[in-house]
Structure 1
Amino acid sequence: MPVLIRKRRVRAAFCSAPLLLILTTGAAFAAPPSTSPQITLPSPSVSRGFGTFVITIPIISGFTPATCISKGGSVTIQGKHFGNQSGKGVALGGHGIHVDAQILSWSDASITVRIPNDPKIQLNQWYYLGIEQANHGKWLSNINKNITICASAPLAAPKLTLPMPGTPSGPAIVLPPAGSGASAQPPPESTPAPEYGGEWPGESGYPGDSGYYGDSGGLPQPSYGSLLSSPLPPVPQVPPVAPEAEKSDIEPAEVVIIHSSPDEARQFAETARGMGLSIKRRRTLKGLGLVVSVVRLPVGMTVSDALLQLRGQLPDLWADANHRFTLQADADPKSYALRMMGWDGQGVSCNTPIRIGMIDTTVTNQHPVLQGAQITQKSFLPSGIEPAPPRHGTAVAALLVAQGEHEAMAGLVPAAQLFVAGVFRGRDDALDTSAERIAYALDWLLEQRVSTINLSLGGPRNLLVEAALHRVMQTGVVVVAAAGNGGAKGAPVYPAAQQGVIAVTAIDADARLYRNATHGDYVVFSAPGVDVWSADARGGGAYFSGTSYATPFVTAALATRITRMAPAAVIEAQKKSVIDLGTPGRDPEYGWGLIQSAGRCPSSS
């Protein structure tokens, strides 16, 4: 006879929701037929002969009304297995927001809620509704069904007109008022919102066209409680590790493995032991919803051989070398940058606090121009590892938040809060970091609720960094990265070349491309990056060159507008406001062209 078990709460990687457990003690017993999704877990106690857990989860099948819903209006969620309301809530998410809905009624097959009149919810925009833990800990249901917020009756809303900065008689850029929803369209039926936590972002070639950048409503609110147990997308095809890379481009004798839950990581550890591998260290990144395991390879096994074996036996496993990344600066480095970008100090509203993240070397915040800046730093280097000199990070930080009143040293967003993750080490004559440290830093920056992340670094494609940035961009955080200093024939530099990342190249005072800039169809914007004047960690100032130093100009330009507009609208506006360089339209050298800004935020002092 079947063993009858009462409903009870099970703590697992899924959620702490009431689950119906059906246990079988032998082949003669079978669970009753069910049409609901079933998740099969390994037996927790083989000695007791336990078999399969059948877990029933809430399933949302649709909404009534099926057309658009007004802010302040009600909608009925239809589906099954909703259970009782205890410990649960309903939230509206997507496009970088997470807003609780007011529950009006609740049954096992339908829930009626009211959409709040919240300013973060944009008109004519789509969002998903889902059932979650009341403490926002985790989604309990699927979130692949969308609603659209109705646009209000047409009004003669004022338009925001910005003159083309740097060209007094240039054409005007006309933008829709923030919140008008003019650039937001409901997603086509073929591209639903993510199910159970997220799919790979947009398929188009330009990130602003894919629609996954959401309205941050000022600071981005993650559109979920925790990403742990949210599935990763399919593993992308990546080339094998080249033999020459084993010598200097990767961490020796180790491989990084990415999972979306601790249970998966523990199960892999058992598999790894059977393959002669061992876990060197493992860390759960709650902000990213990832578990990173670093595998130690046995003596004599190369990284390329280990990856070949792992990918062959476990084709769905996210596994890669622990690649090294370097700073994208020129060792051979006048003040023109602000003028080129039209950064004249006029017309920028920075009343909303700006929070910018940065992964780099540490920063010498005792430098006179940084002493009044709001800088929070954290090192991600293990004890005993010598950190890289702070010169690169100090120069990048000063371009963003320097407090000097002289234009040549004034920061772009001096009132912003800057969160610096120090990940670079000094190793012989090299300054580098690993994919593992970058992932840890990204996790911390998400916890600091930054709206924009500056990555003046680069390296080869790496699946750990790729998965971590995918998670970051799911939350609506904009990622800006240096396009690289490999020259016209250089290989694509990551993470700049990753889908969704804003890649920045460098130009000089005459708008000529930086001689060492990497070319590629992933380049989005150009910015000053040759002989730019910034703070020198050793004292005073110096000239710096490289795509590293062009990146913060784009970071600042996007961060100031994100406080007032949705990220997708910001990127679209920036595309329209650039000064086109090179071949008309977007090209592999200059991207869309020289980014422009409406002004500079006032100093915090």
Structure 2
Amino acid sequence: MNVLQIVTVAALLAGPAVPAAVTAQAPQGWEQTALRVPAAHRLAQGKGVTVAVLDTGVVAGHPEFRGRVTGGPDYIGGGARPGQSYWGEHGTSMTSSVLKVAPQSRVLSVRVIWDHLDPARKKVDAFIKENDFKSAEKVGKPGNALAKGIHYAVDKGARVISMSLGSDEWGWGGYEDDTAAAVDYALGKGVVLLASSGNGGSTDRNDVDANNVVSYPAAYPGVIGVAASGPTGRRADFSQVHTYTTIAAPGIDIWAANNRGGHDNGSGTSPACALAAGTVALMLSRNPDLTPRQVRDILVRTAKRPTVSYTTYLGFGVIDAAAAVQAAGTAKAAKAVPYKGKKYFGQGPTDRPTVNAPLDPDYLIIGGGAAGIGLLCLVGAFFLLRRRSSAKSGRRR
């Protein structure tokens, strides 16, 4: 037996070889150039910023992450556990895209939705088809998962919340009061929220996912809705078209980590949202004092715009990470301007309560009589005009 044969036998006995991708970073695709990430990295890399990924869970032990991921609670439940094929598939991919743009940031994983192949999701989806969404909790869909996830992320110090999920694509029922309140809570704490615009924007009648419904949480006021763009800068044909779209980011053929230890190539407004969240982490790393409104304004101002200032296809344009980070570094801290005028509330000037003078009975009599005469005149005019109209009609016959 020669050396080659010995090596071959040893390899067979040792089992299948570990894919090279397990120990490597996700391949750097066209999105790096489109977003101008290398130039942005010369200014900031996300250090000191925590990005909460609200998704299907994250395989924190993936070799690509190197201890940069912290696991949070599981608010959706359903019985899935790490290591199963339907746990953390989507969330792991989104985390990879965030860290690809902001490599020195940290990710907080909060599980709020199920992966597509999760048996719990299939059960609820089947129930919804036969019944209504609001009663889906009867078969195991926990309520308030997203709202709880937002509150948890804020309370744990996340500065950015990335939500690559949406209404009926992920089994959501649309607008929810508790989630809207959670969004307000996060914005009040200075946290930037981003969400994918949705993947139902196809005009192909044969596309079963073509629905273009209003997608929440992207449609909540204060959330930055992210559309998907292609290598040419145009909208990806699946990206939903709505006025809640604020900005766009690459969303076609994006390489990212998978929940098996390797990497996969995928498309959607989901990776677009994650890449945008990574960009925001760079901006906050460069300038921690930015408010959510300032972040949005800078993204809008520095974007590579379409032919007009705004479209429902790409929002205000495709993100330019380098320009956004540079602008973030020169932005001044937003401060509330104190009111220096007169005080009219609380301890402001006061006066005696206004007392209306009593009405003079004579005025009531005169006013009532005039109103009665006016009414009689109107009635008389009506009948006079009607009589003249009847006379003319008779002559025409």
- Secondary structure at the aligned position of 2:93 is classed as helix
For residue 421 of structure 1, the aligned residue among 85, 98, 110 is 110
CA distance in 2, matches of 1:566, 1:579: 21
- Secondary structure at the aligned position of 1:441 is classed as helix
Deviations 1:387-415 (A, max 9, x none): 542110110011122xxxxxxxxx21121
1:574 has 2:310 as partner: no
Aligned equivalent of 2:280? 558
For residue 257 of structure 2, the aligned residue among 508, 517, 535 is 535
What is the total number of aligned residue pairs between the two structures? 257
- Secondary structure at the aligned position of 1:368 is classed as coil
Aligned equivalent of 1:480? 194
Q: Which amino acid aligns with 1:380?
A: Y
Aligned equivalent of 1:405? none
Deviations 1:446-491 (A, max 9, x none): 1111111000011112222112112111211110000011216612
Q: Which amino acid aligns with 1:478?
A: V
Q: Which amino acid aligns with 1:559?
A: A
CA distance in 2, matches of 1:341, 1:430: 39
RMSD: 2.5
CA distance in 2, matches of 1:574, 1:391: 29
Given that 2:299 and 2:324 are in contact with CA atoms closer than 8 Å, whether structure 1 keeps it comes out as no
- Secondary structure at the aligned position of 2:38 is classed as coil
- Secondary structure at the aligned position of 2:294 is classed as helix
Aligned equivalent of 2:57? 362
1:340 has 2:34 as partner: yes
CA distance in 1, matches of 2:151, 2:121: 28
For residue 313 of structure 2, the aligned residue among 589, 594, 600 is 589
CA distance in 2, matches of 1:430, 1:336: 38
CA distance in 2, matches of 1:540, 1:599: 32
1:503 has 2:218 as partner: no
C-alpha spacing 1:351/1:367, structure 2 compared with 1 (3 Å): closer
TM-score (normalizing by structure 2): 0.60
Aligned equivalent of 1:68? none
CA distance in 2, matches of 1:573, 1:553: 16
C-alpha spacing 1:539/1:374, structure 2 compared with 1 (3 Å): closer
Aligned equivalent of 1:453? 161
CA distance in 2, matches of 1:569, 1:428: 38
CA distance in 2, matches of 1:430, 1:366: 29
Give unpaired runs (5+ residues) of structure 1: 1-333, 402-410
Q: Which amino acid aligns with 1:472?
A: A
Given that 2:58 and 2:71 are in contact with CA atoms closer than 8 Å, whether structure 1 keeps it comes out as no
CA distance in 2, matches of 1:580, 1:351: 25
Deviations 1:303-362 (A, max 9, x none): xxxxxxxxxxxxxxxxxxxxxxxxxxxxxxx81001100111543235851111111011
CA distance in 2, matches of 1:357, 1:431: 26
By how many angstroms is 1:417 displaced? Answer: 1.6
For residue 353 of structure 1, the aligned residue among 14, 32, 48 is 48
CA distance in 2, matches of 1:510, 1:430: 40
1:462 has 2:176 as partner: yes
Identity %: 23
Give unpaired runs (5+ residues) of structure 2: 1-27, 126-140, 168-173, 203-210, 326-397
Deviations 1:517-558 (A, max 9, x none): 110111000101111011121232111111111001111112
C-alpha spacing 1:477/1:381, structure 2 compared with 1 (3 Å): same
C-alpha spacing 1:431/1:594, structure 2 compared with 1 (3 Å): farther
- Secondary structure at the aligned position of 2:232 is classed as coil
CA distance in 1, matches of 2:324, 2:96: 14
CA distance in 2, matches of 1:541, 1:431: 29
- Secondary structure at the aligned position of 1:458 is classed as coil
CA distance in 2, matches of 1:428, 1:574: 35
More strand by share: 1
Given that 2:151 and 2:185 are in contact with CA atoms closer than 8 Å, whether structure 1 keeps it comes out as no
Given that 2:245 and 2:313 are in contact with CA atoms closer than 8 Å, whether structure 1 keeps it comes out as yes
1:116-515 pair list within 5 angstroms? 335-345=29-39, 346-350=41-45, 353-382=48-77, 385-386=79-80, 388-401=86-99, 411-425=100-114, 426=118, 427=120, 429=122, 435-459=143-167, 460-487=174-201, 490-515=212-237
Given that 2:97 and 2:274 are in contact with CA atoms closer than 8 Å, whether structure 1 keeps it comes out as yes
By how many angstroms is 1:512 displaced? Answer: 2.5
Given that 1:343 and 1:599 are in contact with CA atoms closer than 8 Å, whether structure 2 keeps it comes out as no
Given that 1:435 and 1:465 are in contact with CA atoms closer than 8 Å, whether structure 2 keeps it comes out as no
- Secondary structure at the aligned position of 2:102 is classed as coil
Given that 2:251 and 2:272 are in contact with CA atoms closer than 8 Å, whether structure 1 keeps it comes out as yes
- Secondary structure at the aligned position of 1:440 is classed as helix
Deviations 1:49-86 (A, max 9, x none): xxxxxxxxxxxxxxxxxxxxxxxxxxxxxxxxxxxxxx
- Secondary structure at the aligned position of 1:580 is classed as coil
CA distance in 2, matches of 1:600, 1:591: 16
By how many angstroms is 1:570 displaced? Answer: 2.9
TM-score (normalizing by structure 1): 0.40
Q: Which amino acid aligns with 1:378?
A: P
CA distance in 2, matches of 1:412, 1:344: 9
Q: Which amino acid aligns with 1:344?
A: P
- Rg comparison, structure with higher value: 2
Deviations 1:20-46 (A, max 9, x none): xxxxxxxxxxxxxxxxxxxxxxxxxxx
Larger RCO: Structure 1 or Structure 2 (Cα < 8 Å, ≥ 6 residues apart)? Answer: 2
Given that 1:456 and 1:547 are in contact with CA atoms closer than 8 Å, whether structure 2 keeps it comes out as yes
Given that 1:343 and 1:597 are in contact with CA atoms closer than 8 Å, whether structure 2 keeps it comes out as yes
Q: Which amino acid aligns with 1:509?
A: P
Aligned equivalent of 1:51? none
By how many angstroms is 1:430 displaced? Answer: 7.0
